[in-house]
Structure 1
Amino acid sequence: MSQIGKTVEEFKASAYNAGNGEFIDVSEENFKGKWSVVCFYPADFTFVCPTELEDLQNQYATLKELDVEVYSVSTDTHFTHKAWHDHSDAISKIEYIMIGDPSQKISRSFDVLDEETGLAQRGTFIIDPDGVVQAAEINADGIGRDASTLVGKIKAAQYVRNNPGEVCPAKWEEGAETLKPSLDLVGKI
């Protein structure tokens, strides 16, 4: 079932706030009031995952400028996230919140749980300030993601939200022309 247009389901979880080194509680309420990126990944102390999370950290300042908060999620515990943060060169750079999902409830509600392995798949979700999923991408385990693509997607999602009746065409960049769907455009693009 598609996650697009779906409101994030209720949950409560423990997380490691890598920005200040503290454990915190997180719920679906954290995804309201600002834009959020939720990045699911299979497991801590693995191979592709640290490259993705470090890449996400490399985009973190730009995402913060767009009023976006970032959350990573795996089925590991918040304690494991802290241990990984303390011992990995790549993960020690992270400043965003790392949510533990050992109950698998969050991974299951976003439909990224691999029931056979009990691990989350590589899913990325852009959530609007109302807590509604606006974009989703799910990759196979061996395919790492490029966090730089999130910036353009978020700018487009924010533009569409702030400009009802307009849509962003393929490869749209901030400041470029948008489209206003109408009968006049049918068959002319």
Structure 2
Amino acid sequence: MLTVGDSLPEFNLKAVTSLEPGQEFSDITQNSYAGKWQVLFFWPMDFTFICPTEIAEFSRRNEDFEDRDTQVLGLSTDTHFVHLAWRKDHDDLRDLNFPMVADTKRELSQALGILHKEEGVALRATFIVDPEGIIRWVSVNDLSVGRNVDEVLRVLDGLQTDELCPCNWEKGEATLGVA
């Protein structure tokens, strides 16, 4: 699995970026948001139970990420057509404000090392990538446990200070000085 300090692999994937007829799909690459922080979060499959709770929460908190000059990208190994159908079908997903990216060939999931060994789907992995394309934080959950968006924001805040942040540090609190 790629980890902290590794470069985000190159990719070129289809994404659902709109529900507007004729404008539903866009191509997304590792350079689409160059110069910005990125949060890539993967879920196992569309039309499941835990996944929409996470996706909807990232969407509700998207302004918090934008305030931190950060682009959120949600990804799974489903096709962009399945993503579109799910968005149209699920009330909590219709108004998403970040791309739903289709890693259909599992190229990015495989390059990152986050495919479930038996199921062949992406684990619940979250990557924070800095503006230079370097992975700065990774968290991977079992398929049965959703992630905590507040924790992703807390870690992003800490990374963006470029200072030493103690345990349970929250934005606005003092960082540690080196003696």
What is the TM-score when the length of structure 2 is the normalising length?
A: 0.92
Contact persistence 1:18–1:98 (CA under 8 A): no
Q: What is residue 49 of structure 1 aligned with on the other side?
A: 51
Which whole-Å deviations, capped at 9, do the CAs of 1:123-153 have from their partners, x for residues lacking one? 0111100011111110011101121222211
Q: What is residue 174 of structure 1 aligned with on the other side?
A: 171
**C-alpha separation in 1, matches of 2:108 and 2:151:** 24
CA apart distance, 1:115: 3.7
What are the within-5 Å matches in structure 2 for residues 1-189 of structure 1? Answer: 1-18=1-18, 22-160=24-162, 166-181=163-178, 184=179
Contact persistence 1:18–1:96 (CA under 8 A): no
Task: Indicate the SS of the match to 2:31.
Answer: helix
- Percent identical pairs in the alignment equals 34
Q: What is residue 163 of structure 1 aligned with on the other side?
A: none
Contact persistence 2:164–2:176 (CA under 8 A): yes
**C-alpha separation in 1, matches of 2:88 and 2:36:** 29
What CA RMSD, in Å, does the superposition of the two structures yield over aligned residues? 1.6
**C-alpha separation in 2, matches of 1:106 and 1:4:** 16
**C-alpha separation in 2, matches of 1:111 and 1:19:** 31
C-alpha spacing 1:121/1:73, structure 2 compared with 1 (3 Å): same
**C-alpha separation in 2, matches of 1:130 and 1:32:** 8
| Ranges in structure 2 where 5+ consecutive residues have no aligned partner | none
Task: Indicate the SS of the match to 1:66.
Answer: coil
Q: Which runs of 4+ in 1 moved over 3 A?
A: 18-21
Number of matched pairs: 177
**C-alpha separation in 1, matches of 2:44 and 2:38:** 20
CA apart distance, 1:116: 2.5
CA apart distance, 1:179: 1.7
Contact persistence 1:71–1:97 (CA under 8 A): yes
**C-alpha separation in 2, matches of 1:57 and 1:18:** 14
**C-alpha separation in 2, matches of 1:46 and 1:101:** 17
Contact persistence 2:2–2:112 (CA under 8 A): no
CA apart distance, 1:2: 4.7
CA apart distance, 1:31: 4.6
Which whole-Å deviations, capped at 9, do the CAs of 1:68-106 have from their partners, x for residues lacking one? 110011000111111110110121131110110111011
Question: Which deviates the most, 137-146 or 25-34?
Answer: 25-34
CA apart distance, 1:65: 1.1
